[in-house]
Structure 1
Amino acid sequence: MFDLALTSVTKSQFLQFLRCTNAFHLVREGIVPKPPSASFGGHLEWNQFLQLCRERFPSSATIEKTMEKEESFQKTLEWISEKKSIFHAHLRSDRYVSTVEYLEYDAERDGWILWDFRPIGSLKQDILRSFYFHKKVAEGMSLNILAFKLIRIQTKYIHPGGEIDLENYLLIEDITSRMFAEMGTRETEWEQFEEEINKTIGQSVRFSFLEAKPSCRSLKTCLSPNHCAKGKENAKEIFDFRDSSELAKGWFALGYNSYESVPNSELSPIQRIQKEVHVTGKTHFDKVAFENYLTNVTKTVAFLDFESINPYLPLYPQTRPFQHVPYLYSLHIWDSETDTLTHKTYLHEDLGTDPRISVLSQLQKDLPAGITIFSFNDFFEKLIIQETAEVFPEFLEFWERVKSMFIDLAMPFKKLWIYHPGQNGKASLKEILPCFSTESHGGLSIREGQDANYQYLRLIKKQVTAEEKKRVLDDLIAYCKLDSYGLFLIYRMILERLSVI
């Protein structure tokens, strides 16, 4: 039981409610912690992005983050009364509070424009909902809201080098007409939100995975199955079925709570494979599919993995926002006839320079010509080489030579030519590797690509000590090395199952 009337309601809670009523109450009542919203590395660029946005509005007042909460509300009221435009305006009305990135006063129309600054490439529903929340709080303060404007990133912007060209990098989008066109939808969402708050004041909330609308689509993403599916917490394995989507929720409603409980008549051919594997505990292996898949593989093969950064503030000439720029690769080369495994790696340590030329130059030397190259989701590795070659034509011949030599080692796992019960429906390298080998990313300091991205950006932005820098560089090499070595282990396992080595 929790008295919602005693505490302020924030924008993030409103958005959480629209995603899942259960989650809103679970977080609000302190039953579970608020789920993290920030991605790896976002804060490393945010302040610079914010400053670029603010440069478009000189001589505006700013509510500093160092202010106490009550002081920030009072200062905002003071400046509103003086009709000043305000960065980071703190609004409060009734039980709602919100922080608006920029509250602009329009003297000609004697009203206010709500602005948001987002380092994203496209307009999202949550932005429209956020604007509506700000609008309701502002109107509760008797502010006349005239328009809604967004500053976001122009994803087609190509950085020429040097200072970022703000006119072409930042895209100002007036979304007022879109907001008014969808106002009916927003009003319905708001009415549902207020109704939920009012009916649960001082009441015990009943959590139900099936009844809450909107709600989670899967128990796997549920914040607390112990509350939302009490007594059926372990039923979440039926949500591991591939391509089940809303079907799994229907199965759950029918009382199915395990792989074996779902009738074959309800399952697709791939899902039946999954069920059989989980019931028998035996790995599925489609020998014919693999024989066709590996028909043209060379005797000597390579296993390649890149690590990259994809900053939304471009760092290097001829790069776009969010473009993946390689700074590290790991390459294992295996001669199956001599059973010789060789490892090559390159990490760009000259942090003040563009890594692309150095990375591709060294890869050209390390990668033997005319051999099969395995990568996991090879679209990424091919895109890295292609985009680099388009900017630096000296690599075009290399790109033309290697692009047809790639084979995607993720494909057999996506198509379920092979499936291990330990995968639990997943097909990522991190999930697959421990199922078929003694290796795992669990013991590494860096365990996923997003963290590797973040750690290298920290190095570039000099947010590490000299001692920490060495450790981070070593951790990056170790992480990337295990990725390419893991590909070798998986490939060798496949060959052993085919009995060709």
Structure 2
Amino acid sequence: MDSVPKLLRTSIRRLSFLFPESLRRKLLFDVLAPYREKELPLLGRSAFQTGQYCELQFWKFLKEPHSEFDISNQFISPKQKSLLKDIAGNLFPDAKHAGYRDAKTRSYLDSKQPIKGACVRTKFFDTRADFLIPWEEGWQVILIKASSSAKRTHISELSFIRMVLEEAGYKVNSTQVWTISSEYSYTGAEIDPNRLFHKKDCSKETLANLEQTKEKAYKLLEILEKDKIPSITSSKHCDHPRNCIHPESCYSDSPPGDLFTLREGKDLTLTLWNQGIRNLSEIEPDSEFTHRQKIQVEAIKSGKEYLNKDSLLSYLNHLKFPLYCLDFETINPPVPVYKDTHPFQHVPFLYSLHVIRKDLKEKPEEYTYLDDHDKDPRLGILESLSSQIKPGGTILAFNDSFEKRCLKESVQAYPKYKEWFQSIEPDFSDLAKPFWDYDYYHPAQEGTTSLKVVLPVLTGANYKELTINAGHIANSEFLRIKTENVSDQERERVESDLIAYCKMDTFALILILRALAQKLNWPEKL
């Protein structure tokens, strides 16, 4: 007997254009709700946000949870997010922790007690809130974000929370997002939440968004009932095919090929895509293409590297020995760790320096400094580097503006070293520039000029054998051993891995220089 109502639900979904929104919603999620598939997951805040961006990704996220989603570039650790909530919680000492459990949250809501770690579940939805505070015969929702400013996505999240709470029978009168004030200066004392957080009232926006949020949420519930991934032609999806993280599903009939590797070609590649082009080898560059784009396309077609010998030789000829190859590893947490630093400020905790005195072929001298957990690492780095780097040579870095900024900000904290920094600042040279300018380009770069792509293309060396092999991993691992309880053995292991990674970054510069010198028959010595 259940087959008839289930068939009716399916028909209403497929012929949705025949029904007004309010009627369709009432039929599907009220009258015929008991005949909805039982195993379907509840719609949560994260999934709702995904659905706002791409309904196909949303479907795969919830219906195929085994699908791999890359979270490796999420720089803010769960520990830091938890710390932010603890600091905010100091303003609500009477708040009860609900442990993100629905029953506890409802118990505190019913007794009108302030809550942290709230969770409310309804028949179709599941949402969490950092704080729920009694407010004018209703509730105030507070969301803590490890961001320097409020974003539209934050308002969307608050709108979803407000919708779920009100559907559960709890009136919401105020919604706020608390972000981090990047101007806050850490004094070394207990952090003042009133100064750390910037509080933005979003009540008007979330109230105005309420009906639209509800409409979108119920549409996503309908999408969840589909047996197969929705058709890209009838679904909201990425605004540009190159942003798609599931091209094998979304564009299975016409895979993108390497078209979207075209450097700085977002608008151009969309035009080419709409013309049916999927690969760079199909392109005939015209006046719309930049100099770099033309080089990239021609390299793909020829299968050969491109060298602008005159420009590369000019760069090499401006180098002065000794060569100082420098790299910093930094942390930039939302909650400052070191005195006289700000949220999100990049604070160096480790440097690697390789020095070539006279000949690129000589064995380089190696120097490192890692935070000794005793004094501010900026001071330790300045003390150490000022004894190693003297004016008159060349200081090489890959994207040297970062290294210069780290030194400049460190010198502001320790002005004793200002004169030394000013004496060496003109000696910096950016080894990324010849690659950014496409004076050298290899088709295997796929439009990228990062160090970790250039190095293996030119030299065959890579970072694959390193335990820590990316800057954001170095950032999070050092922050972990700096702020969390770990064993001495674990700390020593991580510190060793950090040094190995940083040393690879500077040795890579020497390997790249040697490879270029060999290709150009550059003398390599004084």
With structure 1 as the length reference, what TM-score do the two structures score? 0.91
Q: Could you say which residue in structure 2 is the equivalent of 1:35? A: 69
The CA distance in 2 between the partners of 1:462 and 1:78, in whole Å, is 33
> Percent identity of the aligned residues?
26
Q: Could you say which residue in structure 1 is the equivalent of 2:278? A: 257
**Cα pair distance change 1:137/1:398, threshold 3 Å:** same
Per-residue CA deviations over 1:236-282 (Å, capped at 9, x if unaligned) read 41100011113323323322121111232363332121111112111
1:242 aligns with 2:276: no
Between 466-475 and 277-286, report the one with greater CA deviation: 466-475
Q: How does 1:263-302 map to 2 (within 5 A)?
A: 263-265=284-286, 267-302=289-324
Q: What is the CA distance between 1:294 and its match in structure 2?
A: 4.1
1:423 aligns with 2:445: yes
Runs of 5+ unmatched residues, structure 1: 66-71
Task: Say whether the 8 Å CA contact 1:329–1:480 is kept in structure 2.
Answer: yes
What SS class does the counterpart of residue 476 from structure 1 fall into? helix
1:149 aligns with 2:173: no
Q: What is the CA distance between 1:437 and its match in structure 2?
A: 0.6
Q: Which of 195, 219, 232 is equivalent to 1:195?
A: 219
Q: Which of 364, 370, 373 is equivalent to 2:386?
A: 364
Q: Which of 134, 140, 147 is equivalent to 1:120?
A: 147
Per-residue CA deviations over 1:132-190 (Å, capped at 9, x if unaligned) read 1001101112222111112221101111223223332222222324545xx35x74465
The CA distance in 1 between the partners of 2:224 and 2:99, in whole Å, is 35
The CA distance in 2 between the partners of 1:326 and 1:164, in whole Å, is 22
Matched AA of 1:46: K
**Cα pair distance change 1:167/1:31, threshold 3 Å:** closer
Q: Which of 124, 129, 140 is equivalent to 2:156?
A: 129
The CA distance in 2 between the partners of 1:431 and 1:189, in whole Å, is 42
The CA distance in 2 between the partners of 1:3 and 1:289, in whole Å, is 65
Q: What is the CA distance between 1:479 and its match in structure 2?
A: 0.6
Matched AA of 2:240: R
Q: What is the CA distance between 1:391 and its match in structure 2?
A: 1.0
Q: What is the CA distance between 1:358 and its match in structure 2?
A: 0.9
What SS class does the counterpart of residue 441 from structure 1 fall into? coil
**Cα pair distance change 1:188/1:273, threshold 3 Å:** farther
Task: Say whether the 8 Å CA contact 1:52–1:166 is kept in structure 2.
Answer: yes
Q: What is the CA distance between 1:80 and its match in structure 2?
A: 1.7
What SS class does the counterpart of residue 87 from structure 1 fall into? strand
The CA distance in 2 between the partners of 1:449 and 1:202, in whole Å, is 40
Larger Rg: 2
Per-residue CA deviations over 1:218-248 (Å, capped at 9, x if unaligned) read 44x5332221111433x34110001111332
Q: Could you say which residue in structure 2 is the equivalent of 1:48? A: 83
Q: Could you say which residue in structure 1 is the equivalent of 2:248? A: 226
The CA distance in 1 between the partners of 2:252 and 2:418, in whole Å, is 58
With structure 2 as the length reference, what TM-score do the two structures score? 0.86
Between 192-201 and 17-26, report the one with greater CA deviation: 192-201
The CA distance in 2 between the partners of 1:146 and 1:313, in whole Å, is 30
Task: Say whether the 8 Å CA contact 2:292–2:438 is kept in structure 1.
Answer: yes
The CA distance in 1 between the partners of 2:62 and 2:330, in whole Å, is 38
The CA distance in 2 between the partners of 1:127 and 1:188, in whole Å, is 16
Task: Say whether the 8 Å CA contact 2:324–2:396 is kept in structure 1.
Answer: yes
1:105 aligns with 2:134: yes
Q: Could you say which residue in structure 2 is the equivalent of 1:69? A: none
Q: Could you say which residue in structure 2 is the equivalent of 1:486? A: 508
The CA distance in 2 between the partners of 1:230 and 1:32, in whole Å, is 19
1:213 aligns with 2:236: yes
Task: Say whether the 8 Å CA contact 2:394–2:429 is kept in structure 1.
Answer: yes
The CA distance in 1 between the partners of 2:522 and 2:234, in whole Å, is 53
1:25 aligns with 2:59: yes
Matched AA of 2:489: E
Q: How does 1:337-416 map to 2 (within 5 A)?
A: 337=359, 339-416=361-438
Task: Say whether the 8 Å CA contact 1:4–1:201 is kept in structure 2.
Answer: no
The CA distance in 1 between the partners of 2:206 and 2:167, in whole Å, is 18
Q: Which of 321, 341, 344 is equivalent to 1:322?
A: 344
Matched AA of 1:77: R
Q: What is the CA distance between 1:388 and its match in structure 2?
A: 0.7
Between 82-91 and 188-197, report the one with greater CA deviation: 188-197
The CA distance in 2 between the partners of 1:226 and 1:282, in whole Å, is 29
Q: Could you say which residue in structure 1 is the equivalent of 2:125? A: 96
Task: Say whether the 8 Å CA contact 2:351–2:370 is kept in structure 1.
Answer: no
The CA distance in 1 between the partners of 2:142 and 2:63, in whole Å, is 31
Q: Could you say which residue in structure 2 is the equivalent of 1:68? A: none
Matched AA of 1:102: F
**Cα pair distance change 1:200/1:174, threshold 3 Å:** closer
Matched AA of 2:459: S
Q: What is the CA distance between 1:484 and its match in structure 2?
A: 0.5
What SS class does the counterpart of residue 323 from structure 2 fall into? strand
Task: Say whether the 8 Å CA contact 1:27–1:34 is kept in structure 2.
Answer: no
Q: What is the CA distance between 1:378 and its match in structure 2?
A: 0.7
Matched AA of 1:214: H
Q: Could you say which residue in structure 1 is the equivalent of 2:47? A: 13
Matched AA of 2:218: E
The CA distance in 2 between the partners of 1:111 and 1:242, in whole Å, is 52
The CA distance in 2 between the partners of 1:412 and 1:78, in whole Å, is 63
The CA distance in 2 between the partners of 1:211 and 1:427, in whole Å, is 37
Task: Say whether the 8 Å CA contact 1:32–1:223 is kept in structure 2.
Answer: no
**Cα pair distance change 1:487/1:338, threshold 3 Å:** closer
Q: What is the CA distance between 1:3 and its match in structure 2?
A: 4.7
Q: What is the CA distance between 1:111 and its match in structure 2?
A: 1.3
Per-residue CA deviations over 1:346-396 (Å, capped at 9, x if unaligned) read 232522431111111111111132111111111110011100111111110
Matched AA of 1:379: S
**Cα pair distance change 1:441/1:218, threshold 3 Å:** farther
The CA distance in 2 between the partners of 1:104 and 1:222, in whole Å, is 39
Task: Say whether the 8 Å CA contact 1:218–1:236 is kept in structure 2.
Answer: no
The CA distance in 2 between the partners of 1:4 and 1:278, in whole Å, is 51
What SS class does the counterpart of residue 340 from structure 1 fall into? coil
1:77 aligns with 2:113: no
Matched AA of 2:322: T
Per-residue CA deviations over 1:288-320 (Å, capped at 9, x if unaligned) read 322443453213222111111112211222111
Task: Say whether the 8 Å CA contact 2:51–2:220 is kept in structure 1.
Answer: no
Task: Say whether the 8 Å CA contact 1:352–1:460 is kept in structure 2.
Answer: no
Q: Could you say which residue in structure 1 is the equivalent of 2:92? A: 57
Per-residue CA deviations over 1:111-143 (Å, capped at 9, x if unaligned) read 111111122211122211100100110111222
The CA distance in 2 between the partners of 1:124 and 1:499, in whole Å, is 52
Per-residue CA deviations over 1:183-230 (Å, capped at 9, x if unaligned) read 35x74465244234326624533343x7643316344x5332221111
Runs of 5+ unmatched residues, structure 2: 1-9, 11-35
**Cα pair distance change 1:285/1:135, threshold 3 Å:** same
